[in-house]
């Protein structure tokens, strides 16, 4: 048996899906988190029928007439794949909005069971619902559920009811008559009649003691955190607190225990190998694999604390307010406030963030958002931030915080450029988002989300990063004649010969050496590789001292080994954060943009932006600190000016297109 879980966005579908299947799919306290269908078997503790029941979690939809690509997924599944039963998850606190979609589902000749979710909130809102009357009018069973609870949540009753109605027939409560589906006016008139039917039904079934038109304490909070003037400073303060806790205090404290284990394992493997083993094999195994992977995994606690805090912010409903705060700025540069959702999701991983652009209806805005989302520092980039903040800036929290705000600044500038190039600078956008209610964040949900992301991180460290570090170690150990490179002649290695031409390009950015170029290149496979490769090429086994809670032997030692000034290190950090993302994320961009011209333009734009910002950071910073520009200033300036000239040319070309559009409209 196959059942489809349908409902409006943020009605709790994925939370219910996780509860009945045992899966840990990502959930969020806002609309648009689920953008693709997922399926899994119902848990045996809930399913006593003896037959397998597959639950399919579908993206949220407001009606059977799709406006976005993820709504099309829902419509196509329920219409074309004939599920045995539809479970319609209805937000009990918002019947008016939810039952419009329900009335359409009831016309499909597929048995429907309504899960009246969030029923626990009805008491708090002093609202009563006449469920018996609703069942009689709608002609389908209704089960009260609280998918966020582990017990007495109604889910067992829900599955029993699903089994009971399978194969049965039902009559739709509302049948549209004389509707011409090819005529939009006719469809709109029918929708108005349907709304009137639902409105009348809800007025009879629902008894609200508290009027929603009255202001409550949640409105009071919104007046502060979503205020047009206070919203941004509050967001900055909160992000600074998040980074301070995760990167300076709690994260390093937990990392102490993990790195101690990695050190012990390194020593243990070294003792097993003994002194008779080949130095090459020893270097590959200890420094390449254990040292390289350990360097990345050593930052896992810092990342987990950060993910946990972000999950709490998301779960309590604050991140949805950030979308509202940012809409004012995004609208002016041709994006919608909805663009912030993929970008916030992208702080975990750029790939689901790019996929979340499906919720954006406007094609140009969707492609632009897919292009700009990778600028947000994702989880894979956090080890790079943590490393450079620790080595060159004494673990200062401002480093991580400023990288997020620099990303937002680059995104706004990038959007402004793209809207001009595409000739749509006069286009207007509208942002409508249903704000979730504030609630106490769940430590359980935040822990599940954090552990899920940590699992992905560890899997990547044990596969891609391990393989990459072993390869890097081999390439550094041998020259092209497959002879072991002599001590002091590392620049004759395979790795050095491949990375050196790229290092030449990076001289104006302040880090034109082959070791740093090699690390930046491997970052395109996975950004964590930057840290792992640096550990290998500089023969550093790990970065965190277990006694002092600082990077090995003090940050000055590591800085000395890498041979970078603080400003060059900042430039290198910016280059790795704001140039194109990993290949997997580029693949996601290709999928969502559906246009090779946009894809290549996006990659070129990302590389140009990263190069230009890194160049300005190094050269201006060096001028301020030393009174003169850094090395390679002239030819770096020529490259940057050439890129700026190309952008100005494209902007002028786009402005002419925009002007022609206005003339035609006039």
Query: What contacts 151, CB < 8 A, 6 or more positions away?
Result: none
Annotated binding residue 533: no
Annotated binding residue 58: yes
Cα separations (Å) of 395 from 266, 372, 544, 617?
A: 26, 28, 12, 20
Residue whose token pair is 């079934």:
205
pLDDT the model gives residue 548:
41
DSSP helix/strand/coil, 1: coil
> Nearest CA to 338 among 234, 438, 424, 432?
432
CA distance 502 to 575: 13
Annotated binding residue 146: yes
Annotated binding residue 270: no
Annotated binding residue 118: yes
* Alpha helical stretches, state H, 275-317: 279-282, 292-297, 300-316
Yes or no: say if 373 and 588 are a contact pair by the CB < 8 Å rule. Answer: no
CA distance 509 to 522: 18
Annotated binding residue 117: yes
Yes or no: say if 470 and 535 are a contact pair by the CB < 8 Å rule. Answer: no
Residue 243 φ then ψ, to 5°? -70, -35
How many C-beta atoms surround the C-beta of residue 454 within 10 A? 17
**What tokens appear for 515 in the block?**
């070791």
Residue whose token pair is 């940590």:
454
CA distance 561 to 556: 9
Longest dimension (CA), the chain: 89
CA distance 20 to 297: 33
Annotated binding residue 12: yes
Parse the chain into domains and list their residue ranges. 2-208
Output DSSP code: residue 349.
Answer: -
Strand 2-7 versus strand 54-57 pairing type? parallel
Annotated binding residue 587: no
| 657 CB burial (10 A radius; 0-12, 13-18, 19+) | middle
Annotated binding residue 630: no
**What tokens appear for 416 in the block?**
């402004």
What radius of gyration, in Å, describes the C-alpha atoms of the chain?
Answer: 28
Query: Which strands make up the sheet holding 38-41, listed edge to edge?
Result: 38-41, 54-57, 2-7, 85-91, 112-117, 142-144
CA distance 217 to 223: 10
Annotated binding residue 189: no
Annotated binding residue 426: no
Cα separations (Å) of 343 from 289, 291, 579?
A: 33, 33, 16
CA distance 389 to 428: 40
**What tokens appear for 629 in the block?**
């520009």
pLDDT the model gives residue 429:
66
Annotated binding residue 471: no
pLDDT the model gives residue 571:
95
Helix (H) or strand (E) holding 400: helix 397-421
Annotated binding residue 362: no
Annotated binding residue 359: no
Question: In the 3-class helix/strand/coil scheme, how is 557-594 assigned residue by residue?
Answer: HHHHHHCCCHHHHHHHHHHHHHCCCCHHHHHHHHHHHC
Annotated binding residue 120: yes
Return averaged pLDDT per consecutive 10 residues of the chain, 666 residues in all. Answer: 90 88 69 70 88 89 72 81 92 89 91 92 85 94 90 90 91 82 78 91 86 77 89 86 80 75 79 76 74 70 81 85 82 79 78 77 87 89 85 83 90 92 76 78 85 78 76 83 78 88 92 90 82 77 43 60 87 94 85 88 95 96 93 94 95 84 61
- The CATH number of 2-208 is 3.40.50.300
253 Cα distance to chain centroid: 26
Residue whose token pair is 């006694």:
547
Annotated binding residue 21: yes
In 274-375 the beta strands, taken as DSSP E runs, fall at none
Cα separations (Å) of 4 from 83, 94, 136, 204, 490?
A: 6, 21, 23, 29, 60
Annotated binding residue 18: yes
Model-level pTM? 0.71
Annotated binding residue 462: no
Annotated binding residue 571: no
Yes or no: say if 655 and 420 are a contact pair by the CB < 8 Å rule. Answer: yes
């Amino acid at each position: 048996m196959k059942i489809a879980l349908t409902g409006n966005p943020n009605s709790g579908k994925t939370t219910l899906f996780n509860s009945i299947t045992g899966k840990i799919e990502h959930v969020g306290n806002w609309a648009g988190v689920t953008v693709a269908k997922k399926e899994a078997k119902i848990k045996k503790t809930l399913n006593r029928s003896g037959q397998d029941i597959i639950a399919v979690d579908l993206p949220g939809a407001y009606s059977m007439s799709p406006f976005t690509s993820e709504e099309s997924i829902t419509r196509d599944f329920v219409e074309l794949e004939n599920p045995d039963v539809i479970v319609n998850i209805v937000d009990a606190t918002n019947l008016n909005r939810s039952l419009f979609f329900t009335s359409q589902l009831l016309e499909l000749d597929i048995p429907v069971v309504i899960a009246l979710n969030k029923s626990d909130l009805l008491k708090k809102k002093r609202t009563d619902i006449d469920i018996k009357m609703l069942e009689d009018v709608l002609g389908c069973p209704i089960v009260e559920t609280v998918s966020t609870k582990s017990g007495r949540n109604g889910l067992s009753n829900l599955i029993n009811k699903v089994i009971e109605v399978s194969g049965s027939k039902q009559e739709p409560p509302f049948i549209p008559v004389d509707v011409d589906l090819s005529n939009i006016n006719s469809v709109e008139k029918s929708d108005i009649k349907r709304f009137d039917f639902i409105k009348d039904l809800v007025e009879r079934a629902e008894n609200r003691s508290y009027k929603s038109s009255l202001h409550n304490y949640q409105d009071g909070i919104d007046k502060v955190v979503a205020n047009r003037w206070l919203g941004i400073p509050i967001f900055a303060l909160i992000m600074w607190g998040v980074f301070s806790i995760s990167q300076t205090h709690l994260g390093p404290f937990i990392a102490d225990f993990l790195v101690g284990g990695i050190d012990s394992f390194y020593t243990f493997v070294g003792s097993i190998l003994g002194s008779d083993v080949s130095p090459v094999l020893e270097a590959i195994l200890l420094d390449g694999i254990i040292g390289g992977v350990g360097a990345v995994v050593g930052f896992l606690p810092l990342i987990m604390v950060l993910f946990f805090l972000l999950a709490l912010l998301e779960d309590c409903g604050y991140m949805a307010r950030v979308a509202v705060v940012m809409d004012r700025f995004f609208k002016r540069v041709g994006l919608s406030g909805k663009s912030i959702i993929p970008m916030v999701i992208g702080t975990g991983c750029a790939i689901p963030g790019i996929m979340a652009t499906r919720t954006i209806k406007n094609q140009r805005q969707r492609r632009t958002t897919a292009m700009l989302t990778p600028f947000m520092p994702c989880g894979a980039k956090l080890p790079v931030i943590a490393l450079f903040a620790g080595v060159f800036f004494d673990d200062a929290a401002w480093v991580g915080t400023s990288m997020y705000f620099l990303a937002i600044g680059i995104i706004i500038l990038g959007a402004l450029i793209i809207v001009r190039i595409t000739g749509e600078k006069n286009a207007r956008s509208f942002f409508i988002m249903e704000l979730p209610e504030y609630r106490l964040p769940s430590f359980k949900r935040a822990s599940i989300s954090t552990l899920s992301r940590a699992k992905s991180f560890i899997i990547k460290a044990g596969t891609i990063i391990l393989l990459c570090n072993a390869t890097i170690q081999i390439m550094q150990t041998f020259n092209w004649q497959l002879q072991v490179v002599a001590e002091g002649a590392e620049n004759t290695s395979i790795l050095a010969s491949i990375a050196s031409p790229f290092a030449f390009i990076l001289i104006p950015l302040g880090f034109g050496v082959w070791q740093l170029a090699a690390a930046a290149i491997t970052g395109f496979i996975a950004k964590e590789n930057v840290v792992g490769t640096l550990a290998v090429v500089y023969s550093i086994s790990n970065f965190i001292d277990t006694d002092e809670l600082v990077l090995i032997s003090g940050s000055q030692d590591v800085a000395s080994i890498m041979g970078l000034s603080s400003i060059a290190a900042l430039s290198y950090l910016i280059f790795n954060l704001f140039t194109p993302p990993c290949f997997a994320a580029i693949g996601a961009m290709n999928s969502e943009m559906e246009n090779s011209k946009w894809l290549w333009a996006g990659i070129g734009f990302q590389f140009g932006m990263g190069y230009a910002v890194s160049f300005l950071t190094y050269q201006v910073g060096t001028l301020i600190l030393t009174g003169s520009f850094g090395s390679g200033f002239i030819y770096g300036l020529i490259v940057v000016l050439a890129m700026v000239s190309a952008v100005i040319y494209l902007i002028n070309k786009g402005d002419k297109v925009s002007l022609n559009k206005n003339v035609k409209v006039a």
